[in-house]
Structure 1
Amino acid sequence: MPTATTRTASATASWSDLVSAALLGTKRRTPPVTARAGQGVAAALLDAAAVSTVRRRAALRPAPARERTAPAPADPRPPLPPAARRRLSLLLADRGGTAGGSRRGTAPDLTELLPQWLAAAGERGYRAPEALLPALLDAARARTDLRPAALALAGPRALWLARLNGDWKFALRGIGSPTAVPDSDDPGSVRRRWEEGLFAERVQLLTTLRRRDPQAGLRLVRGTWTTERAEDRLMFLDSLREGLSAADEPFLERALSDRSRNVRATAAELLSALPGSALAGRMAERARSCVGPDHIPGAEGPTINVEAPHECDAGMQRDGVTTTPPTGRGERSWWLGQLVEAAPLDGWIERFGGRAPAAIVALPVADDWRTELHDAWCRAAVRQRDADWARALLGVPAAPARSAEVAPVGSTRDLAKLLTVLPEDERAGWVAEFIAAHGLSDAFRMLGVCAVPWAEPLGRSVVDALDIARDAGSYPWSFSGVMGLAERCLDPAAADRLDMLTAVTDEPEGASPGSGGYWSEAFQRLVGTLRLRATMYAELSRPEDPASGTGPDADRTAGPDPATETAPDAPRSSASDRTAP
């Protein structure tokens, strides 16, 4: 029991002094206490701390107990197989990235594999392990591109944790999380979320409702339209692209008179994407007055004649035509492009005597208007998702004479966007032929719009082009972007066929010094990444069975794993203490 002497000494010592002496040790710092006869300094310090603790507690007023935190909701989805769970732990532990230097070496980049792993796990309907939820939420907090897949995998327990930790409050905004969107069968809950939610929550709610019930989403927007800020109206209007139909036309027509120029322009764009809308009809009439067939004596066939508008009247402005052109563009050509872009493409077939899109595109255009006219048709094909016109404007990728016309000098057309109009298989085939004929220099953005994994002809064209670049002694780092895409997008089954490219080859005369070693490293990394992706998908795709060699013991006999050589063991997490079983 503390003596009177101890109580007196402890009364003069502050709590922080006692804590400091205890942390540093009595040999390094003399505690501000007086020991009684026969008592050590450490014991006197503990006595003083006990007295001080009683004094501190006696000064507190009793408070009512807080309500106990409700347990985390159940998640009925199946758990990850043990090997897949270990893989996720490794990927999350290495989410800071591999070596930061310009030379990446041969190790796979686990940071870039995490999004693919999350997508694959989500497709198979697994739930995230409770112990890894904090690390998964930290990764999603650091990288917004991971949030939709990470929150979908984490499920309702991510929201439960986010309510207890402000660092993860992004999960409560509903971005990418279907669990954060109320059931559309409960109109009251939907209305409350719309009226009381954060802006990001409202956008997510509207987008989800438009997928389920387009008219229910439109009713939400109409109900509060006049009270919304201009920037919010713009985002809500843009969300109407989901499920856009003729039923949206009356509302969009009213939005053409909005006080915000950006809102008016977006409404006009959406209306022009509806070929049967009144705005599309008005724009078609204006475009036909500017573009049409002309028969020139001595010519083999008709020529397209273009007469750009001489003014941008009030009606054109109300329908979304912007009056002021960008720097370097003439007013008349700027107005013409907007009219043609907004006009329904089907109307040109009738205008040119029933000719197919390819035949119309092949017609000569008078007075050097060809590039301007074709660029506008490209934008119209993207807006209206017209595959026939996209094929005609893309042309034959392998023909050298035609390739110069695909994107001539001074053109503003976006071939990557035009390719998105084509079906996936046809898109991959077109890009494969383009690469085979013209190489990789202009193909990076085209590759980015192709379905993953790449179809075999496309993957073969990319690898062949990389091999040709290596044999030519090209700078390997000039192709680092394409190589990174290949690591993420090539079919993992191609790994065995690429083994022959991992050897260091003789550098041709005039090659970049050391390029042979760099190319060898790049192909080794590519092969290693493809094999690691194959392993990841196998771990997720089948239940673990020791008899089949895919169980936990299989890791001891399957040879080295590229990931385990580059990523440390994931630290233990205490999430299981905070999450209900």
Structure 2
Amino acid sequence: MSRTTSPTTPASASASASGDLADAVAATSWEDLVTSALLGTDRRPPGGASGAGPDGAASALLDAAALHTVRRRAGLLPAAASPRPAPAPDDPRPPLPEAARGRLAQLLADRAAAGGSGGRRGTAPDLTELIPQWLATANLHGYRAPDSALPALLDAARARTDLRPQALEFAGPRGLWLAGLNPEWKFALRGASGSGLLPSLTDPEAVRRLWEEGLFAERVALLGAVRARDAEAARALLATTWRTERAEDRLMFVDSLRTGLSCADEEFLEQALADRSRNVRATAAELLSALPGSALARRMADRALSCVSPGLTGDKPFVAVEAPHECDAEMQRDGVVALPPSGRGERSWWLGQLVEASPLSVWPARFGGRGAEEIVAMPVADGWGEELHAAWCRAAVRQNDEAWARALLGPPSTPPSNGPGTASLAERAKLLAVLPPAERAGWVADFVAAHGLSEAFQLLGVCPVPWAEPLGRSVVDALDIARDAGSYPWSFSGVMGLAERCLTPAEATRLEVLTTTPAEPADASPGANGYWSEAFQRLVSTLRLRATMDSELSPPPEDG
């Protein structure tokens, strides 16, 4: 009996060949498949597919990878269960009122949905810009953050560093406990000194263990907590590992001495002047120069006094300057950077560093008992005035000297370009920050009244919030004047944004009259009055929303 065979069709032959190819490739190890996928099957065809062509090799590779994946998953052994986290700590603070709880959810949801759409903002308040004020008020009343809001709150703090102090205070111990479970929220641990995530500071062995074995953020938080409790213990802890720390870590650690800086830190900082890292040396020198009684401050004063002196010719007193001719090794050890930035002369660069690091208390004796105001008003010979006054400005900020800050600011009615200290608005803002809050706000109010808002933005940013009535009224009047003058409204968008956050909500009623759209003057920018009206409507609605938020956060009246 004869056997008959079925003729092989092209399709069945192709399937057989494909199956043989898949079987051959399936025998290839997982590591070889990964290598072929990374390099490409044209450069590294998997085993058994060298003659299959690029399409066939690629198809066989994918089939084999799928097969290997199933095998690997099927053979995967269960992992050991991780230990349960410790229970979340209690938070004894009172809960938020119900209306405030809903408002918080709205603010955080608006932050998550916000995008950079640009264009006109319309008349609706910008909720994302109100989060800092809402948090400040909630913290002022001592409320506890709702547990359900903690993830969104930590995400907001992660995205905006300006929110972190207030957000973490509001999140409290439970927020910091939660942050310890998610690597994306590790930033919160840096401020966790009172969270319970750190060991008891009265347990020296636990403190030593975390200092030697902890993550960097944990070590920074630990050093800050120990520093706040016992500055000497913090320096001793830092000294135990100082020589083995990385340069970038040493920089962060030495900068932590800025908090509570005192003469007791001088010895440690003097040793840091010989550090291998230039940044560490510079930070140590800056901190030492902020201690007027330090040896470094005296050395810098001796150098500065040899460069700046009373003029000895003519009838009128003036300031004579002879800038350094070299930057020797001792100057560099004390923090003077030898190489100037591009566009700066060496001698003026060295002079500025010497003067800003010298105690301001040495200058009255140098100039015959004159006070700061008289010294600043003296003419400076040979064109050194701008450099010398700028250095005095930096010294006043570093040493937090109110008398010199006032002298260098001068009267607010004087234009910045003609002022006694510096024309730089950034430097003037730093000087203002040295003054008491009420004096600061009054000075800026007079400055706005005299010069308008075009140069006031940076100065307004350092004023206490909410703006006191003289300052708020001065800003509103200046905005009204700018509108009536036909100015471009978008030129004042930054100031308007500050006003939305910083004016007292009580100003809303007075601003209502400015929300109308008057007829445009012939020389006004087209559509400018419409923009102004829209901006004032948004300002009024924002102030009223802030008033509502404040009332929602107000504690309920006590019975009886």
TM over 0.5: yes
Are 2:382 and 1:367 aligned? Answer: yes
Q: What is the letter of the counterpart of residue 84 of structure 1?
A: A
Are 2:409 and 1:394 aligned? Answer: yes
Distance of 1:294 and 1:70 partners within structure 2: 71
The within-5 A match list for 1:219-258 is 219-258=236-275
> Out of 412, 436, 440, which is 1:427 matched to?
440
Residue in 2 aligned with 1:317?
332
Does the residue aligned with 2:338 lie in a helix, a strand or coil?
Answer: coil
Q: What is the letter of the counterpart of residue 523 of structure 1?
A: F
1:281-320, Cα deviation, whole Å (9 max, x unpaired): 11111111111112323x2x32111111111111111111
Which moves more between the two structures, 59-68 or 244-253?
59-68
Distance of 1:478 and 1:209 partners within structure 2: 48
Does the CA contact (< 8 Å) of 1:98 and 1:109 recur in 2?
Answer: no
Cα shift at 1:381? 0.5
> Out of 500, 518, 533, which is 1:487 matched to?
500
Distance of 1:277 and 1:408 partners within structure 2: 28
Distance of 2:534 and 2:142 partners within structure 1: 36
> Out of 73, 76, 88, which is 2:92 matched to?
76
Cα shift at 1:59? 10
Distance of 1:183 and 1:62 partners within structure 2: 37
Distance of 2:96 and 2:187 partners within structure 1: 25
Residue in 2 aligned with 1:578?
none
Distance of 1:246 and 1:170 partners within structure 2: 31
Does the CA contact (< 8 Å) of 1:148 and 1:176 recur in 2?
Answer: no
1:185-212, Cα deviation, whole Å (9 max, x unpaired): 3333333332222222322332333333
- 1:412–1:296 Cα change, 3 Å: farther
Does the residue aligned with 1:495 lie in a helix, a strand or coil?
Answer: helix
1:200-246, Cα deviation, whole Å (9 max, x unpaired): 23223323333332222222222211011111111111111101110
> Out of 260, 271, 282, which is 2:288 matched to?
271
Residue in 1 aligned with 2:174?
157
Residue in 2 aligned with 1:441?
454
Q: What is the letter of the counterpart of residue 130 of structure 2?
A: L
> Out of 125, 134, 137, which is 1:120 matched to?
137
Are 2:214 and 1:191 aligned? Answer: no
> Out of 358, 367, 372, which is 2:373 matched to?
358
Residue in 2 aligned with 1:202?
219
Cα shift at 1:353? 0.8
Residue in 1 aligned with 2:46?
none
Residue in 1 aligned with 2:110?
94
Does the residue aligned with 1:94 lie in a helix, a strand or coil?
Answer: helix
Residue in 2 aligned with 1:414?
427
Does the CA contact (< 8 Å) of 1:122 and 1:153 recur in 2?
Answer: yes
Does the CA contact (< 8 Å) of 2:301 and 2:355 recur in 1?
Answer: yes
1:389-447, Cα deviation, whole Å (9 max, x unpaired): 110010001134x75235667x6971111111111111111111111111112211111
Residue in 2 aligned with 1:30?
none
Are 2:187 and 1:174 aligned? Answer: no
Cα shift at 1:526? 0.9
TM-score when normalising by structure 2: 0.81
Residue in 1 aligned with 2:543?
530
Distance of 1:251 and 1:258 partners within structure 2: 11
Q: What is the letter of the counterpart of residue 122 of structure 2?
A: G
- 1:63–1:206 Cα change, 3 Å: closer
Does the CA contact (< 8 Å) of 2:356 and 2:395 recur in 1?
Answer: yes
Q: What is the letter of the counterpart of residue 354 of structure 1?
A: G
- 1:64–1:201 Cα change, 3 Å: closer
Which moves more between the two structures, 137-146 or 119-128?
137-146
Q: What is the letter of the counterpart of residue 385 of structure 1?
A: N
Q: Which structure ranks higher in relative contact order (CA pairs < 8 Å, sequence separation ≥ 6)?
A: 1
The within-5 A match list for 1:143-154 is 143-154=160-171
Q: What is the letter of the counterpart of residue 381 of structure 2?
A: A
TM-score when normalising by structure 1: 0.78
Does the CA contact (< 8 Å) of 1:396 and 1:403 recur in 2?
Answer: no
Residue in 1 aligned with 2:276?
259
Distance of 1:313 and 1:412 partners within structure 2: 33
Which moves more between the two structures, 275-284 or 191-200?
191-200
Cα shift at 1:483? 0.9
Does the CA contact (< 8 Å) of 1:193 and 1:202 recur in 2?
Answer: yes
Does the CA contact (< 8 Å) of 1:152 and 1:177 recur in 2?
Answer: no
Q: What is the letter of the counterpart of residue 405 of structure 1?
A: G
Residue in 1 aligned with 2:356?
341
Distance of 1:303 and 1:157 partners within structure 2: 62
RMSD: 2.6
Does the residue aligned with 1:292 lie in a helix, a strand or coil?
Answer: strand
- 1:108–1:235 Cα change, 3 Å: same
Residue in 1 aligned with 2:309?
292
Cα shift at 1:155? 2.2
Distance of 2:271 and 2:231 partners within structure 1: 18
Does the residue aligned with 1:155 lie in a helix, a strand or coil?
Answer: helix
Distance of 2:400 and 2:183 partners within structure 1: 43
Distance of 1:329 and 1:492 partners within structure 2: 47
Q: What is the letter of the counterpart of residue 317 of structure 1?
A: Q
The within-5 A match list for 1:374-393 is 374-393=389-408
Unaligned 5+ segments in structure 1 are 1-57, 549-581
Cα shift at 1:480? 1.0
**Paired residue total:** 485
- 1:62–1:385 Cα change, 3 Å: closer
Unaligned 5+ segments in structure 2 are 1-73
Does the CA contact (< 8 Å) of 2:496 and 2:535 recur in 1?
Answer: yes
Does the CA contact (< 8 Å) of 1:304 and 1:366 recur in 2?
Answer: yes
Does the CA contact (< 8 Å) of 1:97 and 1:110 recur in 2?
Answer: no
- 1:371–1:66 Cα change, 3 Å: closer
- 1:364–1:186 Cα change, 3 Å: same
- 1:365–1:186 Cα change, 3 Å: same
Does the CA contact (< 8 Å) of 1:279 and 1:319 recur in 2?
Answer: yes
Does the residue aligned with 1:446 lie in a helix, a strand or coil?
Answer: helix
Does the residue aligned with 1:414 lie in a helix, a strand or coil?
Answer: helix
Cα shift at 1:80? 0.7
- 1:361–1:534 Cα change, 3 Å: same
Cα shift at 1:146? 2.5
